[in-house]
């Protein structure tokens, strides 16, 4: 840890903070918890029930929160919410438990350079420290020597304010979000192919398809409520699952194509080629609404069924059956999640699914679409409004007209708006490695656990002059490395909106007081703005609902236009509203259509209105198995009771009872027999980066030569390899080579 920097003559002081027109920091001391109130948009009756959306995953379930004396007592699934129809997964049912955890951060904490210990400080001191040290870094190393890493877990209004504060107010350029780890591929794939980052579907499509193709997706446990929607499908659909593992979803499918890890691009091109060969192309749709099919058709000539089968390991019989099913389907939908998004050629793989949907005319009709299922509860909000890689509402930093529009709509001087986007997450870390980035602000994410090749990040922290972590807990792996911790309110302790997988904007409400001096992220950003001296730029951002109004203004005329929404109350009354919802859609109707899909008119968001076929020759995996590292490591979600780095889900005793406390490794019975391993045997798993131990779980859900580790355990990303898709810069978590042995032996494992 570095020593605290000296306060320069121009240091902000308490008097600067007092210029702020909102509640003063002294209020915090006098009345902890009051500060997060802001303007409460919906008056909550003391002993009533109020609806809000869940803050874990992007399914976006509606929950009914039951209040006593105006505060949440418990909750249940909302039977009237159009997403979940009364259902909720274990995380949703336990959503209040993490807020009540005794290890919540309740006051700012500052590391004492003499003792190395974190010590409680006032907000005034914390904001002074933040401002002085970040400005000191900038003064010494340039304005772009500070960066932030944010999240898809906070409200849209909050992430928008952060992005604008950092870039337009603090003079920073580089900030990214953990949505880079889950949804960057879908974002780039849609943008390049369809002209805008626009997942086209509505959840009703799960019930209306006669063929559903899931690629690298395990909705049974990752999006269990969406799987319930599949189960409501009355058409006895064919369900195809392409996944190396026999996942819970694969077990419930009608066809499981257990392909070799990362052979999906070749297999998808092979399926496309076979569809062409059997005349299953919707030529009318292709002619009317797309461009580039001729080139794609020629490209597919190299992807014979023999090649697709030999490279993917799929039998010819299974391949032909899958092609036949898709060809005969009338309403075919293609769905993908992290098995696609987290790969070394993930953007082209996602686009192969888009290509398949386009060539079969599977767009804009009920039960169709190339549909990326989003991960985090507000990854979609981050993609549209976080002001990171795109200016708000999908605008381009490099486009002078777009910058001028944003300047005019926000009243921000044009010269404060950068003319280039941020570095991506991995490039920010590279900047730290090179010494170009010296100050880092981490908000509601746990990089020291979740980042690929995790040890590297932990080493890089030592190169930072200043690391700030803003989170609900001071106990996260990343917070424990920080110089300064800012205590944040969580979901349920603040107001705002989240945008779910089907583009539905849902409401989050303040139904509990944040503990101690923890503040809503929105208000922390406002305080930072004031402390920094740029609060004047954000006078209009008085509270989340006012910020939502600003985002509506920014969206007007764009594909994600939400100008027709009449405030938070309208969202509340309608059970959320899907974007786009322009003023023209709002006119004349008090009940927005609840289930809406995009591209019903065949017009896409590209300049010529046509969707593009995009494709590329597949590339080999960067780290194949070899004699020294003979197993392929797969990672993914363990159970529906665990969420990502387990920061919140581990706080619930109920959820803890639903998953193993220690990391476990799924291994095939054949490999287990060869290694003389049984379920419960301690394994040592070694990659070129690190070595960890895990309990064996012998199961045929993984194929011979492959092992699976759930990502929720902190050890797992010590093994993974820094590999990124070149278009989306999304990490490839799903493939690296490892060596496996009994932890009490050191012999190499022979392979048959
Ligand atoms: Fe919450 Fe997702 Fe579970 Fe629904 S499926 S209750 S949104 S975690």
Q: Per-residue pLDDT tens for 178-213?
A: 999 999 999 999 999 999 999 999 999 999 999 999
The reported pLDDT for the residue numbered 13 is 39
C-alpha of residue 215 to centroid of ligand 1, in Å: 21
Q: Ligand 1 in contact with 56 (CB < 6 A)? A: yes
Q: What angle do CA 384, 386, 390 make, to 5 degrees?
A: 65
Task: Read off the pLDDT of residues 568-606 as tens digits, 9 standing for 90 and up.
Answer: 999 999 999 999 999 987 654 445 556 789 999 999 999
User: Considering only 94-103, 155-164, 591-600, which range has the smallest mean pLDDT?
Assistant: 591-600
d(CA 77, CA 591): 22
For the chain, the helix, strand and coil percentages under 3-state DSSP, each to the nearest 5: 35, 20, 45
Give 658's pLDDT tier (boundaries 50, 70, 90).
Answer: very high
Across the range 537-562, mean pLDDT stands at 97
Task: Read off the pLDDT of residues 480-532 as tens digits, 9 standing for 90 and up.
Answer: 999 999 999 999 999 999 999 999 999 999 999 999 999 999 999 999 999 99
d(CA 441, CA 137): 13
The reported pLDDT for the residue numbered 744 is 86
The reported pLDDT for the residue numbered 5 is 31
Three-state DSSP class for residue 715: coil
Across the range 59-83, mean pLDDT stands at 94
Q: Which of 53, 55, 56, 77 to mutate to test the pocket of ligand 1 (most atoms within 8 A of CB)?
A: 56
Q: Which of 369, 346, 242 is nearest to 616 (CA)?
A: 346
The reported pLDDT for the residue numbered 491 is 97
The reported pLDDT for the residue numbered 36 is 39
Give Cα 260 to chain centroid, integer Å. Answer: 25
Ligand 1 atom with the smallest distance to the CA of 226 is 5
Nearest CA to ligand 1 atom 6: 92
Residue 144 has pLDDT above 50, yes or no: yes
Write the CB contacts of 226 (distance below 8 Å, at least 6 apart in sequence): 59, 203, 206, 219, 373, 501
Ligand 1 atom with the smallest distance to the CA of 59 is 7
d(CA 378, CA 380): 5
Instruction: Specify the residue for token string 């797969």.
Output: 634
Residue 751 has pLDDT above 70, yes or no: no
C-alpha of residue 173 to centroid of ligand 1, in Å: 34
Across the range 46-66, mean pLDDT stands at 94
The reported pLDDT for the residue numbered 43 is 53
The reported pLDDT for the residue numbered 391 is 97
Count of C-beta atoms within a 10 Å radius of residue 316: 12
C-alpha of residue 35 to centroid of ligand 1, in Å: 29
C-alpha of residue 110 to centroid of ligand 1, in Å: 35
The reported pLDDT for the residue numbered 595 is 73
Ligand 1 atom with the smallest distance to the CA of 60 is 7
The reported pLDDT for the residue numbered 435 is 97
Task: Read off the pLDDT of residues 292-330 as tens digits, 9 standing for 90 and up.
Answer: 999 999 999 999 999 999 999 999 999 999 999 999 999
C-alpha of residue 258 to centroid of ligand 1, in Å: 27
Q: What phi, psi does 127 have (nearest 5°)?
A: -70, -35
Q: Which of 87, 152, 222, 224 to mutate to test the pocket of ligand 1 (most atoms within 8 A of CB)?
A: 224
Q: What angle do CA 493, 578, 728 make, to 5 degrees?
A: 85
648, with CB counted inside 10 A (0-12, 13-18, 19+), is buried
d(CA 685, CA 691): 6
Q: Ligand 1 in contact with 57 (CB < 6 A)? A: yes
Helices (H) and strands (E) in the chain, counts: 28, 26
- pTM here is 0.93
Give 41's pLDDT tier (boundaries 50, 70, 90).
Answer: very low
Q: Ligand 1 in contact with 220 (CB < 6 A)? A: no
Q: What phi, psi does 47 have (nearest 5°)?
A: -125, 55
Q: Which of 661, 663, 683 is nearest to 672 (CA)?
A: 683
β-pair type (706-710, 664-667): antiparallel
Write the CB contacts of 561 (distance below 8 Å, at least 6 apart in sequence): 393, 555, 579, 580, 581, 582
Task: Read off the pLDDT of residues 237-294 as tens digits, 9 standing for 90 and up.
Answer: 999 999 999 999 999 999 999 999 999 999 999 999 999 999 999 999 999 999 999 9
The reported pLDDT for the residue numbered 2 is 35
Residue 718 has pLDDT above 60, yes or no: yes
Q: Kindly compute the dihedral angle of the four CA atoms of residues 25, 31, 35, 37, in this order, to the nearest 10 degrees.
A: -160
Across the range 129-148, mean pLDDT stands at 98
Q: Which of 63, 225, 230, 649 to mutate to test the pocket of ligand 1 (most atoms within 8 A of CB)?
A: 225
Nearest CA to ligand 1 atom 1: 92
Ligand 1 atom with the smallest distance to the CA of 95 is 1
d(CA 365, CA 349): 23
Across the range 127-152, mean pLDDT stands at 98
The reported pLDDT for the residue numbered 70 is 85
Nearest CA to ligand 1 atom 2: 57
Nearest CA to ligand 1 atom 3: 89
Residue 24 has pLDDT above 50, yes or no: no
The reported pLDDT for the residue numbered 10 is 32
Residue 29 has pLDDT above 60, yes or no: no
Helices (H), 232-292: 248-251, 264-277, 283-289
The reported pLDDT for the residue numbered 597 is 93
C-alpha of residue 225 to centroid of ligand 1, in Å: 7
Q: Which of 253, 345, 302, 268 is nearest to 724 (CA)?
A: 345
Ligand 1 atom with the smallest distance to the CA of 53 is 7
Task: Read off the pLDDT of residues 700-711 as tens digits, 9 standing for 90 and up.
Answer: 999 999 999 999
For 386, which DSSP code?
Answer: S
d(CA 148, CA 260): 37
d(CA 30, CA 13): 20
β-pair type (332-336, 290-291): unpaired
Task: Read off the pLDDT of residues 348-401 as tens digits, 9 standing for 90 and up.
Answer: 999 999 999 999 999 999 999 999 999 999 999 999 999 998 999 999 999 999
C-alpha of residue 61 to centroid of ligand 1, in Å: 6
Q: Which of 504, 656, 470 is nearest to 579 (CA)?
A: 504
Q: Which of 64, 91, 219 to mutate to test the pocket of ligand 1 (most atoms within 8 A of CB)?
A: 91
- B/e letters for 160-198, b = 16+ CB within 10 Å, e = fewer, are bbbbbbbbbbbbbbbbbbbbbbbbbbbbbbbbbbbbbbb
d(CA 272, CA 277): 9
C-alpha of residue 374 to centroid of ligand 1, in Å: 12
Percentage of residues of the chain with pLDDT beyond 90: 90
d(CA 388, CA 325): 41
C-alpha of residue 222 to centroid of ligand 1, in Å: 9
Helices (H), 72-167: 90-93, 123-141, 156-164
Q: Ligand 1 in contact with 92 (CB < 6 A)? A: yes
The reported pLDDT for the residue numbered 587 is 59
| Spatial contact of 43 and 73, defined as CB atoms under 8 Å apart | no
The reported pLDDT for the residue numbered 317 is 98
d(CA 50, CA 29): 30
d(CA 9, CA 530): 18
Task: Read off the pLDDT of residues 325-346 as tens digits, 9 standing for 90 and up.
Answer: 999 999 999 999 999 999 999 9
The reported pLDDT for the residue numbered 677 is 97
List the structure tokens of 661: 């406390």
Q: Ligand 1 in contact with 431 (CB < 6 A)? A: no
């Amino acid at each position: 840890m570095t020593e605290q920097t000296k306060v320069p003559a121009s240091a902000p002081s308490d008097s600067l903070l007092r210029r702020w027109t909102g509640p003063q920091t002294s209020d915090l001391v006098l009345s902890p918890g009051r500060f997060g109130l802001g303007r409460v948009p919906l008056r909550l009756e003391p002993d009533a029930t109020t609806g809000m959306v869940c803050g874990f995953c992007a399914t976006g379930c509606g929950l009914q929160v039951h209040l006593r004396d105006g505060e949440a007592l418990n909750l249940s699934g909302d039977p009237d919410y159009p997403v979940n129809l009364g259902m909720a997964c274990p995380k949703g049912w336990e959503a209040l438990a993490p807020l009540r955890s005794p290890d919540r951060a309740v006051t700012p904490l500052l590391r004492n350079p003499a003792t190395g210990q974190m010590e409680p400080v006032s907000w005034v001191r914390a904001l002074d420290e933040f401002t002085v040290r970040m400005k000191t870094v900038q003064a010494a190393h340039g304005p772009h020597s500070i960066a932030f890493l944010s999240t898809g877990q906070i409200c849209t209004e909050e992430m928008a304010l952060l992005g604008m504060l950092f870039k337009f107010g603090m003079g920073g350029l580089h900030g990214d979000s953990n949505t880079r780890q889950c949804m960057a591929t879908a974002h780039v794939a849609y943008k390049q192919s369809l002209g805008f980052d626009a997942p086209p579907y509505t959840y009703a499509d799960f019930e209306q398809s006669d063929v559903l193709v899931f690629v690298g997706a395990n909705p049974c446990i990752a999006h269990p409520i969406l799987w319930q929607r599949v189960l409501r499908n009355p058409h006895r659909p064919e369900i195809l699952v392409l996944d190396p593992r026999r996942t819970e979803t694969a077990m419930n499918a009608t066809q499981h194509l257990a392909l070799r890890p990362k052979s999906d691009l070749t297999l998808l091109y092979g399926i496309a080629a076979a569809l062409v060969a059997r005349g299953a192309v919707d030529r009318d749709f292709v002619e009317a609404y797309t461009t580039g099919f001729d080139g794609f058709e020629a490209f597919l000539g190299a992807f014979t069924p023999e090649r697709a089968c030999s490279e993917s390991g799929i039998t010819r019989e299974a391949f032909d059956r899958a092609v036949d099913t898709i060809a005969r389907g009338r309403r075919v939908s293609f769905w993908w999640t992290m098995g696609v998004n987290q790969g070394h050629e993930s953007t082209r793989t996602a686009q192969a699914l888009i290509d398949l949907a386009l060539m079969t005319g599977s767009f804009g009709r009920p039960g169709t679409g190339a549909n990326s299922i989003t991960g985090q509860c507000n990854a979609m909000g981050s993609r549209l409004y976080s002001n990171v890689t795109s200016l708000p509402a999908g605008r381009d930093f490099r486009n002078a007209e777009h910058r001028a529009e944003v300047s005019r709509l926000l009243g921000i001087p044009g010269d404060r708006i950068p003319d280039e986007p941020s570095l991506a997450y991995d490039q920010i870390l590279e900047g730290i490695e090179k010494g170009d980035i010296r100050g880092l602000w981490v908000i509601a994410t746990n990089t020291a656990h979740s980042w690929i090749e995790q040890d590297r990040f932990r080493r890089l922290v030592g190169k930072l002059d200043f690391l700030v972590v803003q989170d609900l807990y001071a106990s996260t792996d990343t917070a424990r490395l920080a110089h300064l911790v800012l205590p944040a309110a969580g979901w349920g302790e603040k107001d705002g909106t989240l945008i779910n997988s089907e583009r539905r904007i849902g409401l989050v409400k303040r139904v509990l007081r944040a503990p101690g001096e923890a503040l809503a992220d929105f208000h922390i950003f406002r305080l930072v703005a004031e402390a920094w001296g740029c609060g004047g730029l954000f006078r209009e951002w008085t509270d989340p609902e006012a910020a939502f109004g600003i985002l509506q203004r920014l969206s007007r005329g764009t594909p994600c236009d939400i100008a027709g929404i009449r405030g938070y109350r309208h969202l509340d009354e309608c059970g959320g509203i899907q974007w786009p919802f322009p003023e023209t859609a709002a006119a004349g109707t008090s009940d927005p259509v609840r289930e809406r899909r995009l591209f019903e008119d065949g017009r896409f968001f590209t300049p010529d209105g046509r969707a593009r076929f995009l494709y590329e020759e597949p590339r080999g995996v960067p780290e194949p198995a070899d004699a020294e590292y003979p197993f392929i490591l797969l990672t993914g979600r363990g159970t529906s009771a665990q969420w990502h780095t387990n920061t919140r889900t581990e706080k619930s005793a109920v959820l803890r009872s639903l998953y193993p406390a220690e990391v476990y490794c799924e291994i095939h019975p054949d490999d287990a027999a060869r290694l003389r391993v049984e379920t419960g045997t301690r394994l040592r798993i070694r990659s070129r980066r690190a070595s960890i131990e895990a309990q064996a779980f012998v199961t045929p859900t993984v194929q011979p030569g492959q092992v699976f580790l759930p990502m929720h355990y902190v050890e797992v990303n010590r093994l993974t390899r820094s590999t990124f898709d070149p278009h989306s810069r999304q990490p490839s978590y799903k493939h690296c080579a490892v060596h496996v042995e009994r932890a009490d032996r050191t012999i190499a494992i022979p392979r048959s």
